[in-house]
Amino acid sequence: MKLEIKDRPGQLVAALKPISDVGGNIIAVIHQRDPGSASDTLDVQIVLNLPEGRLEHLIDLIREQGVSVVRVGEERLLHRQEVIIIGHLMHTDLSDTVDQIDRTGFAEVSEISVVMPAIDQPSSAHLTIRSVSSEDMGKALEILHRTAKEKDLLVIKPLEECT
Amino acid sequence: MKVAIIGFGSVGQGVAESIQNKDLGIMITGIADSKSGVIAGSGIPVGEVLAKKQSQGVCGDTDVSAWDVVKSADYDVLVECTPTDITTGKPALEYIRYAINRGRHVVTSNKGPVALAYKTLITEAGEQGVCLRYEATVCGAIPIIHTIQEGLAGNDILKIYGIFNGTCNYILTRMAEDGLTYEQALLEARELGYAEADPTYDVKGIDAAIKLVILANTVWGLDKSIDDVEITGIDNLTPEALQLAEKHGRTIRLIGEIDPAKGTLRVSPRIIPQEHPLVVDGTLNAVLLEADMADGITMIGRGAGSIETASAIIGDLIFIRDRYVKAA
């Protein structure tokens, strides 16, 4: 979320305190001061993890501190992983392969690029999978692994499994 | 210190040359290749034997066999560098066991015996009070075993992962950089002498898996065999897969990994960031160790080659010379 706070000591702490009060976890605080700005307010971006259903309450608490919340961007699928799959992707129904992950509800394929050099040759695809948590990512990869085995596809995983 | 060399191919010759050219306090008293042998208690004229091998294809007298050298030459250390047989380990395994039970130290570059019979060999060496060393079997010139056992002594080694096969690394580098197909890159590797006529062991990941078995058994005292390794080779990779990886700032390398806490013993092609320390070019090997005190240590070096392999063997010989032979 993006906040607008007064450029005064104590304001940032006041803005952040409610986050821990509602059980949230701060991942990053990006705090850029525009040297040319004559404004007495400061833009701060906060990246955080929040238990489900607490967002409205948090925004109320922050506003009570006299801080305005400029924008809230909600991102549910925080975990991201790339994989490459090789094989006869079209003949083995690529949309079904993708759907196996999408229909879980906790993970989805958010990007796919496919290269098909010739009709009788194996195709290659780069997939980005997003999931709610790292455990869910593990489950999604397990599903992909199983599907790939059934369809005789090669799955190449990243060295560091979660990014 | 007296040594006998069994196996006089490029590695055996590399070892003999290094002993001849450097003042290491090492004398060669026996040499054997697959067809002949030479024994001389007062020291073999290495230059003459190397010249004979070059011109006639044999190192010595055809009446003298490798077994004669193993059984009767006067040596402190047997240097065993015959070709690897990964199914039986023979005949190297028998030479090594004979020498150990004769009360002699052994240095080998041969993966077969160490991967197949580690427990037996190490137990017998212990009983005989002799030393068995095999630095050259894993990552060629990189002193990985010495680093773990000596340099990192006292550390708990948590994980080891890396690039253990230079042939595969060469093929993947060429596919990524110049868009060669797997077949083209393999052909080129063969022409340059990086790949065997039968490249199966390399490209199917078996060679890398054997090295993982050796490390797992050495470092953690496990009793693993090649059947315990989950293996995927590089022979089904497409240039398009590499290009897709490169487009995303990544590449693909054949990675071997041992993580005993997770029970992982695996060789597989993996997506890896291009700036990762394990991403090395050409035939290089690279290995990353994670230790409890030292944290991460990465080593990069040549995984094959006659002088490079000889470097590892000479290191083992000098270790034995200083720790055992001189001390005796």
Judged by DSSP in three states, A60 sits in: helix
- Pairing state of beta strands B132-133 and B157-163? unpaired
Using pLDDT thresholds of 50, 70 and 90, give the confidence band for residue B89: confident
Token pair listed for A80: 């991201």
* Helix spans in chain A (H): 11-21, 55-64, 94-102, 134-150
**Would you say B47 and B20 are in contact if contact means Cβ atoms under 8 Å apart?**
yes
**Would you say B33 and B12 are in contact if contact means Cβ atoms under 8 Å apart?**
yes
**Would you say B257 and B159 are in contact if contact means Cβ atoms under 8 Å apart?**
yes
B42 pLDDT more than 50: yes
The shortest C-alpha distance from B296 to chain A (Å) reads: 15
Q: Could you give the angle at the alpha carbon of B218 between the alpha carbons of B85 and B105, nearest 5°?
A: 70
Distance CA B107, CA B95 (A): 11
State the average pLDDT over residues B31-58: 95
What average pLDDT is seen over chain B? 95
The beta-carbon neighbor of A126 closest among B161, B244, B278 is B244
Contact B269 A156 (CB under 8 A): yes
Q: For A64-73, what is each residue's pLDDT tens digit?
A: 888 888 777 7
Element (H, E) at B169: helix B166-178
Using pLDDT thresholds of 50, 70 and 90, give the confidence band for residue A34: low
A47-51, B4-8, B222-226: least confidently modelled range: A47-51
B246 pLDDT more than 70: yes
Using pLDDT thresholds of 50, 70 and 90, give the confidence band for residue B101: very high
Residues of B in Cβ contact (< 8 Å) with A86 = 236-238, 241
Distance CA B206, CA A152 (A): 21
Does CATH number 3.30.360.10 belong to domain B146-301? yes
Kindly report the number of other CB atoms within 10 A of residue B256's CB atom. 26
Assess whether B211 carries a catalytic annotation: yes
Domains and CATH numbers, chain A: 2-71 (3.30.70.260), 79-156 (3.30.70.260)
Contact A158 B270 (CB under 8 A): yes
Distance CA B218, CA B285 (A): 19
Judged by DSSP in three states, A9 sits in: coil
**Would you say A124 and B240 are in contact if contact means Cβ atoms under 8 Å apart?**
yes
Residues of B in Cβ contact (< 8 Å) with A149 = none
The beta-carbon neighbor of B248 closest among A82, A117, A154 is A82
B148 pLDDT more than 70: yes
Distance CA B3, CA B327 (A): 17
| Residue whose C-alpha is closest to residue B313's, from B42, B120, B108 | B108
**Would you say B323 and B131 are in contact if contact means Cβ atoms under 8 Å apart?**
yes
B108 pLDDT more than 60: yes
Token pair listed for B306: 């006659």
Catalytic residue of the set B159, B211, B247, B262: B211
Q: For A54-99, what is each residue's pLDDT tens digit?
A: 888 888 888 888 888 877 776 667 788 999 999 999 999 999 999 9
The shortest C-alpha distance from A138 to chain B (Å) reads: 14
Chain B residues at the A interface, defined by Cβ less than 8 Å, are 161, 232, 236-238, 240-241, 243-245, 247-248, 250, 252, 255, 268-272, 276, 278
B23 pLDDT more than 80: yes
Q: Where would I find the beta strands (DSSP E) of chain A?
A: 2-6, 25-31, 41-49, 68-71, 79-87, 107-115, 123-131, 154-158
Q: Kindly state the DSSP code that residue B155 receives in the 8-state scheme.
A: P
Percent of chain B having pLDDT more than 70? 99
A4-13, A135-144, B247-256, B317-326: least confidently modelled range: A4-13
Instruction: Report how many Cβ contacts below 8 Å link chain A to chain B.
Output: 61
Contact A84 B278 (CB under 8 A): no
Give the nearest chain B residue to A87 (CA atoms): B236
Res A162: pLDDT: 37
A118: contact with B, CB 8 A cutoff: no
Judged by DSSP in three states, B148 sits in: helix
The beta-carbon neighbor of A113 closest among B237, B244, B278 is B244
Distance CA A54, CA A76 (A): 14
What average pLDDT is seen over chain A? 85
B258 pLDDT more than 50: yes
Q: Kindly state the DSSP code that residue B228 receives in the 8-state scheme.
A: G
Token pair listed for B138: 């894993």
Res A119: pLDDT: 83
The shortest C-alpha distance from A126 to chain B (Å) reads: 6
State the average pLDDT over residues B123-149: 97
Mutate to test the interface with A, among B161, B204, B244, B287 (most CBs of A within 10 A): B244
Contact B247 A126 (CB under 8 A): yes
Q: For A100-156, what is each residue's pLDDT tens digit?
A: 999 988 899 999 999 998 888 999 999 999 988 888 899 999 999 999 999 999 999
Dihedral sign from CA coordinates of B136, B139, B142, B144 = negative
Res B326: pLDDT: 81
All structural domains of chain B with their residue ranges: 2-140+307-325, 146-301
Q: Which residues pair with A30 in a beta bridge?
A: A45
Bigger pLDDT: A17 vs A125: A125
Q: Where would I find the beta strands (DSSP E) of chain B?
A: 2-6, 27-32, 37-39, 77-80, 105-108, 132-133, 157-163, 230-231, 250-259, 264-273, 284-291, 295-302
Does CATH number 3.40.50.720 belong to domain B2-140+307-325? yes
